[in-house]
């Protein structure tokens, strides 16, 4: 038996070194359509550390809420569960590289209940008496599927790539969760600013309505001024419920993002604070830096590697398959003599599909098509990632310029409103002029707040587009590989 096993190993191991199917090679930047630089103005210096970009807004509460989202978000918990599943799939694939060993044990006791008779060939009859007997048995079975053409190794290769995909998908969910948390925080601060603007305008319009009423009673103006003042006040008051609704939605979303009930953060967010500003500029580097940093790009690259390995798995089915099995067994009537006689057997079988209507070759073509689709998805993700960066850069520049102009507009509108109110009190101008001036003041205030929020959200989108929010040098699959 030892000689047979040695001969089989000597024959099969060199053959098993043959692996069919294409070997995966990462695509070059040129093949993916990656340019040398961005088409919009940007700081091409090397990217700074973007691991904890939310700290650059200098807002302790924002930092705290993002930390809670990282720890407790339920989408992240689902991503971790999928990562664990992918790890176990890899473990199962690797197990195919090893033989399967099974064992058996048995005990049989026979007992004659009533004596019987046995007829001998000569016709004589012998009366048998009562008796009993014991039989003990042990067995060991070994089975091994030899991947002659690399089907097992290609399967492991595909599972390893899918495990990496799940790791990068987890990182992608992490980045999206952080960005959504920061975005809703910025929106909540924007709605607080809009609500304050509306309430300030409402107070002024209450004063204007009172002044108009006095002037109507004094016969200085017609009731038209009072009706205009009442209409304007009602229009401003009508905007407040919508702002409060939007604020509640943003704060409730923050609660759910941190894995809590919607109202969990309402007390913490109640204090009115300014919209976070963030840094004036960010070094974005060159496009290839972004692709190395973004986990979604690395995920689809690994998906392409897995699809390429599956071509080899499909092609190996066109070639012979070799299975080896062996067994050891012994039996005796008592334990002391159990190992005196041991029998062993070795089996090997070679199978080859001769005709199946083209199913196996069709499977190969199907996997090749899947790999082509995976490459297209890879390239699409790369180009979309670059588009995200350029869109965020333009949005950031636009918001900065609008904020600058709204700052000027607010100063002018504030001065105009002060002059108009003073002149209206003195009877030097009509109410329409005052109404127009104060409407322009409210518009300028809200415009500046919106531009500031847009700038903050453009920064968040730029950080996300650059792949900020995780350590790209670390292996995200390490999150679960230490659990075993």
pLDDT at 111: 67
Higher-pLDDT residue of 48 and 317 is 317
Q: What is the pLDDT of residue 4?
A: 44
- pLDDT for residue 126: 61
pLDDT-based confidence at residue 121 (cuts at 50, 70, 90): low
Give the model's confidence band at 429: pLDDT under 50 very low, under 70 low, under 90 confident, else very high.
Answer: confident
Task: Looking at mean pLDDT, say which of 40-49, 102-111, 272-281, 472-481 comes out highest.
Answer: 272-281
Residue 207's pLDDT is 85
At 12, the pLDDT band (50, 70, 90 cuts) reads very low
Task: Say yes or no to pLDDT of 7 above 60.
Answer: no
pLDDT, tens digit, for every residue of 457-484?
A: 999 999 999 999 999 888 898 887 654 4
Whether the predicted pLDDT of 325 surpasses 90? no
Question: For residues 130 and 284, which has the higher predicted lDDT (pLDDT)?
Answer: 284
Question: 346 or 243: whose pLDDT is higher?
Answer: 243
Residue 105: its pLDDT value, please? 85
Dihedral class, residue 357 (left if φ above 0, else alpha if ψ from -120 to 50, else beta): left
Task: State the average pLDDT over residues 358-386.
Answer: 95
Residue 57 has pLDDT above 70, yes or no: yes
Question: Tens of pLDDT along 237-280?
Answer: 999 999 999 999 999 999 999 999 999 999 999 999 999 999 98
Interval 318-328 mean pLDDT: 87
Residue range 287-294: mean pLDDT, rounded:
92
Percent of the chain with pLDDT over 70: 90
374-399 tens-digit pLDDT: 999 999 999 999 999 999 999 999 99
pLDDT at 401: 96
What digits encode the pLDDT tens for the residues 409-420? Answer: 999 999 999 999
Q: What is the pLDDT of residue 410?
A: 95
User: What average pLDDT score do residues 402-412 get?
Assistant: 96
pLDDT at 8 exceeding the cut of 50: no
Average pLDDT over residues 49-53: 92
| Per-residue pLDDT at 1 exceeds 50 | no
Mean pLDDT of the chain: 88
pLDDT at 16 (0 to 100): 47
Residue range 30-52: mean pLDDT, rounded = 91
pLDDT at 130: 54
Which pLDDT band, with edges at 50, 70 and 90, does 116 fall under?
Answer: low
What is the mean pLDDT of the segment spanning 34-50? 90
Has residue 303 got a pLDDT over 50?
Answer: yes
Say which residue, 228 or 412, is predicted with more confidence. 412
Most trustworthy range by pLDDT among 101-110, 271-280, 354-363? 271-280
Residue 89 has pLDDT above 80, yes or no: yes
Give the residue-averaged pLDDT of 160-171. Answer: 95
pLDDT value at position 239? 94
Q: What is the pLDDT of residue 387?
A: 96
């Amino acid at each position: 038996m030892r000689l047979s096993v040695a001969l089989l190993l000597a024959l099969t191991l060199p053959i098993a070194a043959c692996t069919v199917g294409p070997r995966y090679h990462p695509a070059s930047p040129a093949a993916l359509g990656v340019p040398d630089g961005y088409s919009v103005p940007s700081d091409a210096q090397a990217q700074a550390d973007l691991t904890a970009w939310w700290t650059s807004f200098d807002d302790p509460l924002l930092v705290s809420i993002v930390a809670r989202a990282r720890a407790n978000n339920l989408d992240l918990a689902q991503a971790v569960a999928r990562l664990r599943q992918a790890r176990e799939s890899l473990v199962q694939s690797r197990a195919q590289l090893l033989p399967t060993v099974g064992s058996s044990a048995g005990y049989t006791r026979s007992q004659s209940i009533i004596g019987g008779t046995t007829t001998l060939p000569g016709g004589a009859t012998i009366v048998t008496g009562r008796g009993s007997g014991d039989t003990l048995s042990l067995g060991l079975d070994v089975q091994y599927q030899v991947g002659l053409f690399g089907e097992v190794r290609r399967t492991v290769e595909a599972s390893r790539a899918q495990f990496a995909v799940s790791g990068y998908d987890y990182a992608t969910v992490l980045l999206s969760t952080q960005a959504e948390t920061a975005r809703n925080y910025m929106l909540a601060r924007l709605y607080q600013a809009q609500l304050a603007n509306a309430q300030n305008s409402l107070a002024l319009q209450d004063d204007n309505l009172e002044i108009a009423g006095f002037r109507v009673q004094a016969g200085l103006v017609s009731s038209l001024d009072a009706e205009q003042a009442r209409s304007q006040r009602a229009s401003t008051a009508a905007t407040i419920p919508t702002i409060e609704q939007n604020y509640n939605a943003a704060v409730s979303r923050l609660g759910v993002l941190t894995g809590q009930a919607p109202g969990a953060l309402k007390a913490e967010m109640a204090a009115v604070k300014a919209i976070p500003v963030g840094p004036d500029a960010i070094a974005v580097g060159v496009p290839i830096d972004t692709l190395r940093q973004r986990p979604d790009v690395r995920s689809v690259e690994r998906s392409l590697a897995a699809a390429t390995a599956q071509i080899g798995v499909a092609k190996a089915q066109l070639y012979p398959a070799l299975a080896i099995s062996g067994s050891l067994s012994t039996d005796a009537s008592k334990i002391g003599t159990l190992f005196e006689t041991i029998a062993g057997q070795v089996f090997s079988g070679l199978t080859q599909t001769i005709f199946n209507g083209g199913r196996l070759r069709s499977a190969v073509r199907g996997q090749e098509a899947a790999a082509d689709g995976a490459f297209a998805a890879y390239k699409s993700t790369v180009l979309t990632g670059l588009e995200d960066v350029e869109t965020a850069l333009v949005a950031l520049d636009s918001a900065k310029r609008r904020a600058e102009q709204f700052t000027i507009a607010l100063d002018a509108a504030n001065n105009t409103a002060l002059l108009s109110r003073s002149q209206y009190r003195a009877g030097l101008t009509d109410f329409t002029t005052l109404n127009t001036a104060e409407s322009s003041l409210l518009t300028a205030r809200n415009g500046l707040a919106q531009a500031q929020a847009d700038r903050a959200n453009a920064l968040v989108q730029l950080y996300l587009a650059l792949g900020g929010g995780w350590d790209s040098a670390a292996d995200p699959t390490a999150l679960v590989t230490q659990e075993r």
